[in-house]
Chain A
């Protein structure tokens, strides 16, 4: 098959996917910000893997789906998990706990938030992981921010987890608060509540793989979802080779889509 990968990088997990698929007889092209042109020329591939969720790649995904070329994971789900507000409603509709969320201009936030709303964590509205994330401990911290408006979440003091899933396999990692996916982690062998959260999330959105970032509140022991992602790098996955598992799930999903449309 001819397979396209929409990705900001050619190496890392994307590079490994390409190698694996090529070894299995497929022709694979990676489309990055250096060579992506979204027009009919993209329609040559049988399907696409949507690795990166920056707007440019999402545009490509929407264009491909509008032209009946399958995109895995789907563009809609990738967008909903990348956009913080869409993600907020997705988590809420899955009946999982999540922190309070506020949005407003800097001036509005300074004037209208209450002292007991702090500490807060500011995150880019379109993003995932720890990039661009900042803790707001006092109203003075707003003075250092060069944005007109902000998305803010209540900061939960507690134990932070990065939890991967591939099909029904789950890998739970305890991590340093606000560290990215690639940082040092401690593997947790089992946690019933976390596993329940993951299966609810996966089944509700019909996901093949992905991750959730969770925090267990030190004071209440409640478990909150603070981030979701459709396609992590699986840097800390400790349950065998994630590349073959992910690729085989993608190939199976493509066959299912193809069988449905035939």
Chain B
């Protein structure tokens, strides 16, 4: 029986992964590595799994994956580099643009210095914790200035972590497009953008494959190094798609039979 290691935190275990674990338990031997309970000992380890699946993105998780990657030949989905790039907005914007993928203009500026574009959205620097986007919206001289509250708190709050902000040019789009990528299988959806409807999931619908999104999504996962991801796109007035977010830990429960699709994919990717 194939042995699957699941590296996860309590939040993802309780809220997002029970169906997957239930399914996998029927076809594989599961071992759980819980971020809150696992001691990483870099000189004393013994991994005998055939594959690892990662469902979290905290520092301990990333550093446990590095140990597995450097000391064993066990496949890890997703790898540490892919997760690190996905959670670092500025790094993935830079790399995606370098790879020829259309992303909105972006800048990383010292606090107090505005970016060289008028409509913008301020997003958090590293998207690592399990909390949701909280929008603060202003319109100044006809230009839209949107900020995620947690991004501002990380610069202005009591426990400020950064002295700089990540700005992404705001793309006005009727719909937000979401593509889930599980290996070579892609699943396409559209929904109203969060700023239009805060309950955007209620507006989500399945759509047919859009070749341009397929091309961009495949190029992006290749560049970042993700095997499982979800990618957000906006479509500008002149009809161009822009990749606005890439997520290394998507909620696959939103896909029909998502847990089974993920489980079967992991079995296929396992060693031997």
Contacts and interface: CB of A to CB of B under 8 A. Distances in A.
Nearest to B95: A66
Contacts, number: 89
Most buried by B among A37, A100, A107, A113: A37
Interface residues of A, number: 33
B35 interface: yes
B113 A37 contact: yes
Contact of B60 (A35, A39, A66, A105): A105
B241 interface: no
Interface stretch (A13-21, A45-53, A56-64, A186-194): A56-64
A112 B109 contact: no
A4 to B, nearest CB: 15
Nearest to A58: B91
B66 A104 contact: no
Given A56-B108, A85-B66, A103 B90 contact: no
B91 A37 contact: no
Interface string A82-102: 000110110000000000111
Contacts of A220: none
Nearest to B114: A37
Contacts of B108: 37-39, 56, 59-60, 63
B39 A113 contact: yes
A147 to B, nearest CB: 11
Nearest to B37: A108
B107 A101 contact: no
Nearest to A153: B42
B256 interface: no
B94 A66 contact: yes
Contacts of B63: 85, 103, 125
B39 A33 contact: no
Contacts of A60: 108
Given A38-B107, A59-B90, A112 B115 contact: no
B98 interface: yes
B40 to A, nearest CB: 4
A23 B116 CA distance: 34
Contact of B110 (A33, A62, A105, A107): A33
A34 B110 contact: yes
B62 to A, nearest CB: 8
Nearest to A103: B40
Contact of B115 (A33, A36, A39): A39
A2 B43 CA distance: 46
Contacts of B94: 62-63, 66
Contacts of A59: 90-91, 108
Given A36-B164, A38-B107, A38-B109, A107 B59 contact: no
A102 B108 CA distance: 33
Nearest to B105: A39
B36 interface: yes
B31 interface: no
Given A56-B108, A88-B42, A104 B60 contact: yes
Given A102-B42, A103-B40, A104-B60, 6 more contacts: A59-B108, A62-B91, A100-B41, A100-B43, A102-B41, A113-B39
13 contacts: A33-B164, A35-B110, A37-B115, A39-B106, A55-B125, A56-B164, A59-B90, A62-B91, A66-B95, A89-B66, A103-B40, A104-B60, A149-B60
In order of increasing CB-CB distance, the 7 nearest A-B pairs are: A38-B108, A103-B40, A112-B39, A101-B42, A39-B107, A37-B109, A104-B39
Interface of A: 33-39, 41, 55-56, 59-60, 62-63, 66-67, 85-86, 88-89, 100-105, 107-109, 112-113, 125, 149
